[in-house]
Amino acid sequence: MPNLRGVAVVTLLLASSLLLAQAGRKAPSVTVAPVATPEIAQGKAGEVEVHFRIAPGFHINSNTPKSEYMIPTALRLDAPTDIMIGKITYPDGKDMTFPFAPEEKLSVYSGDFTVSLMVQPLRSVTPGTYAVHGSLKYQACDNAACYPPKTVPVDFNVKVRRGASSGGHNPAQSPHAHR
């Protein structure tokens, strides 16, 4: 059975957002800062940080919203063959209450926030620069209403350098090898 309170809040939020949109209010936005190109050795993992900025006067749901009817912020990435995307780490959200749901604390991001992720080129990948493409899906709200979910493109490069040699050396030959 659906959570009737949740359905009522979502209905109220959608109706409010339509009225605000018709009134000509500025739509919420999230922007992505340029990502510094990491240089990672073949077969090794490296961390990439992606910095986001939420427009003033707005907040977005965290990656772990407290209510099942809230849409979590989620980064999705498509890496080239032989480049693996590992664990994605989101910041903790800040618990806040808002006039549209004063009895409920929501886990949100506002202002600037950073998502970090691990990138690992396989040992077999050819050294060079590779493009990673993806998007951040989010639902933004202001103090009065929430807006339909949006996505913002996230693109960055990864420079793969030749990995360190195995570091091994040839073992000494047996004195009996040349008899």
Q: What is the pLDDT of residues 119-141, one digit of tens each?
A: 999 999 999 999 999 999 999 98
CA 69 to each of CA 7, 24, 56, 64: distance values in angstroms, whole numbers, following the listed order: 8, 27, 24, 11
pLDDT at residue 68, as a whole number: 86
Question: Pick the residue with more confidence: 99 or 118?
Answer: 118
User: Residue 146 falls within a domain, yes or no?
Assistant: yes
CA 98 to each of CA 22, 30, 78, 103, 137: distance values in angstroms, whole numbers, following the listed order: 22, 20, 35, 8, 22
CA atoms within 13 A of residue 153's CA, in its CB half-sphere: 5
Q: What is the pLDDT of residues 158-175, one digit of tens each?
A: 999 998 755 544 445 444
pLDDT at residue 40, as a whole number: 97
User: Residue 166 falls within a domain, yes or no?
Assistant: no
User: Residue 126 falls within a domain, yes or no?
Assistant: yes
Residue type, 122: L
Q: Tell me the pLDDT of the chain averaged across its residues.
A: 83
pLDDT at residue 166, as a whole number: 52
User: Residue 178 falls within a domain, yes or no?
Assistant: no
Instruction: Give the number of domains in the chain.
Output: 1
User: Residue 119 falls within a domain, yes or no?
Assistant: yes
Q: Is the four-CA dihedral 17, 3, 96, 138 of positive or negative sign? A: negative
The pairing of beta strand 59-61 with beta strand 101-109: antiparallel
Q: Which of 165, 136, 138 is nearest to 152 (CA)?
A: 136
Cβ pair 144, 85 in contact under 8 A: no
The stretch 68-84 carries a mean pLDDT of: 94
Q: Which domain holds residue 38?
A: 27-161
pLDDT at residue 137, as a whole number: 98
Q: What is the pLDDT of residues 4-59, one digit of tens each?
A: 444 344 444 444 444 444 344 567 799 999 999 999 999 999 999 999 999 999 99
Indicate the pLDDT class of residue 104, thresholds 50, 70 and 90: confident
CATH number at residue 131: 2.60.40.1250
The stretch 54-73 carries a mean pLDDT of: 93
User: Residue 179 falls within a domain, yes or no?
Assistant: no
User: Residue 87 falls within a domain, yes or no?
Assistant: yes
pLDDT at residue 20, as a whole number: 42
User: Residue 103 falls within a domain, yes or no?
Assistant: yes
The pairing of beta strand 83-89 with beta strand 112-121: antiparallel
pTM attached to this predicted model: 0.76
